[in-house]
Amino acid sequence: MRHAGLAIRVIALLATMACSPLWAAGPPKNSGTPADSGLEQDIQTLKRQVMDLNRDLFVLEEEMLFPSNTQVQFFVALDSGSFFKLDSVQLHIDGKEVADYLYTEREVQALKRGGVQRLHMANLATGEHEVIAHFVGRGPKGRDYRRAAVLKVNKQLGPQYVEIEIRDDPASQQPTFAIHQWQ
């Protein structure tokens, strides 16, 4: 029902725009008359309506492509990062690569300050799925470092969230890599 209302709004807006003399005439010549001011307001109103519709269509698209019953989102979080400088993360679900992300210095700094990045969103059937995350970067003493973490995700009905976490282990002075399913 909600989708039908949105479709009707889109059609109505497009029809309004197509029938509008503003659409065919192009940008108005500003002669300073009150009619030009009204024309300018009409244009601003149409722009606002188009932006609102664009937002609604984005939400609708996400709901249709990723229904909440099958939706799984994967997030990357980074601890202080003293023992590991992140370069990239590669994500595999059931043996299939679904994401490969190369980080900029600015993104790594945002993660170190507590930011969390949504790496991937997927539709998964209920049941067990194997998730593997490969991490590439610089480890202790500036050496190249490549590690992986594995988790069996038990997908149930409803949206689910999985955190891919990189932490420092001060005892061993090494980074640790883990994948956690949020409850």
Q: What is the pLDDT of residue 1?
A: 47
Which of 21-30, 95-104, 138-147, 173-182 ranks highest by mean pLDDT? 95-104
- Rounded CA-CA distance 41/149 in Å is 56
Supply the mean pLDDT for the chain.
Answer: 81
Q: What is the pLDDT of residue 7?
A: 54
Instruction: Encode the chain in three state secondary structure.
Output: CHHHHHHHHHHHHHHHHHHCHHHHHCCCCCCCCHHHHHHHHHHHHHHHHHHHHHHHHHHHHHHHHCCCCCEEEEEEEECCCCCCEEEEEEEEECCEEEEEEECCHHHHHHHHCCCEEEEEEEECCCEEEEEEEEEEEECHHHCEEEEEEEEEEEECCCCEEEEEEEEEECCCCEEEEEEEECC
Confidence of residue 98 (pLDDT cuts 50, 70, 90): very high
* Sheet of 144-155, strands arranged across: 96-102, 85-93, 127-138, 144-155
Higher local confidence (pLDDT), 95 or 158: 95
pLDDT single digits (tens) 123-166: 888 889 999 999 999 887 788 889 899 999 888 888 899 999 99
- pTM for this model (two decimals): 0.62
Quick one: average pLDDT of 116-128?
Answer: 90
Q: What is the pLDDT of residue 77?
A: 93
Specify the CATH class of 71-181 in words.
mainly beta
Q: What is the pLDDT of residue 63?
A: 66
pLDDT single digits (tens) 7-45: 555 555 555 555 555 545 555 555 556 667 788 888 889
Higher local confidence (pLDDT), 2 or 90: 90
Q: Delimit the domains of the chain by residue range.
A: 2-65, 71-181
